[in-house]
Amino acid sequence: MTDRNTVRFVLDGEIVEIRDVDPTRTVLQYLREDLGRKGSKEGCAEGDCGACTVVIAELVDGERLGVRAINSCIQFLPTLDGKELITIESLSPNEALHPAQDAMIRNHGSQCGFCTPGFVMSLYALYETNKNPGRRDIDDALAGNLCRCTGYRPIIEAATQMYAAQSPASSDRSRLLSKLKRKTSLQVEHNGRHFFAPLDADELAGLVKRYPDATILAGGTDIGLWVTKQHRELDIVIYTGRVAGLQAVDVTDSHIDIGAAATLSDAVPTIVKHYPGLDEMFRRFASPPIRNAGTLGGNIANGSPIGDSMAALMVLDTTLVLRCGDAEREVPLRDFYHDYMVNDLQSGEILLRIKVPLPKSDVVVRSHKWSKRFDQDISAVCTAYRLQLDGSVVASFSMACGGLAATVRPAPNTEAAINGQEWNEATIESACKALATDFSPITDMRASADIRLRATQNLLRRFFAETVDDRLVTVYNYGR
| Per-residue pLDDT at 477 exceeds 80 | no
Superfamily (CATH H level) for 6-89+172-239:
Beta-grasp domain (3.10.20.30)
310-316 average pLDDT score: 97
CA torsion, ordered 284, 290, 293, 294, to nearest 10 deg: -60
Q: Which residues contact 276 (CB under 8 A, 6 or more apart)?
A: none
The SS3 call for residue 68 is: strand
Residue ranges of alpha helices (H) inside 242-372 are: 264-274, 279-283, 288-293, 296-302, 308-315
467 exposed, middle or buried (CB, 10 Å; 0-12, 13-18, 19+)? middle
198 and 188 Cβ atoms separated by less than 8 Å: no
262-272 average pLDDT score: 97
The SS3 call for residue 105 is: helix
pLDDT for the residue numbered 474? 43
179 exposed, middle or buried (CB, 10 Å; 0-12, 13-18, 19+)? exposed
What residues does each domain of the chain span? Answer: 6-89+172-239, 97-164, 249-478
Each residue of 29-57: pLDDT tens digit?
999 999 999 999 999 999 999 999 999 99
| Per-residue pLDDT at 413 exceeds 70 | yes
363 and 386 Cβ atoms separated by less than 8 Å: yes
The reported pTM is 0.93
| Per-residue pLDDT at 289 exceeds 60 | yes
Q: How far apart are CA 123 and CA 155, in angstroms?
A: 9
The angle at the Cα of 42, spanning 39 to 45, to the nearest 5 degrees, equals 150
369 exposed, middle or buried (CB, 10 Å; 0-12, 13-18, 19+)? buried
Average pLDDT across the chain, whole number = 93
Each residue of 137-196: pLDDT tens digit?
999 999 999 998 888 999 999 999 999 988 766 667 888 999 999 999 999 999 999 999
Q: Which fold has domain 97-164?
A: DNA polymerase; domain 1 (1.10.150)
Same fold, 6-89+172-239 and 249-478: no
Superfamily (CATH H level) for 249-478:
CO dehydrogenase flavoprotein, C-terminal domain (3.30.390.50)
pLDDT for the residue numbered 470? 58
pLDDT for the residue numbered 2? 57
The SS3 call for residue 8 is: strand
Q: How far apart are CA 249 and CA 274, in angstroms?
A: 13
The region of weakest confidence among 124-128, 175-179, 186-190, 256-260 is 175-179
Which of 472-479's residues contact partners 24+ apart within 8 Å by CB, and which partners? 477/280
Confidence of residue 473 (pLDDT cuts 50, 70, 90): very low
In the chain, % of residues over pLDDT 90: 86
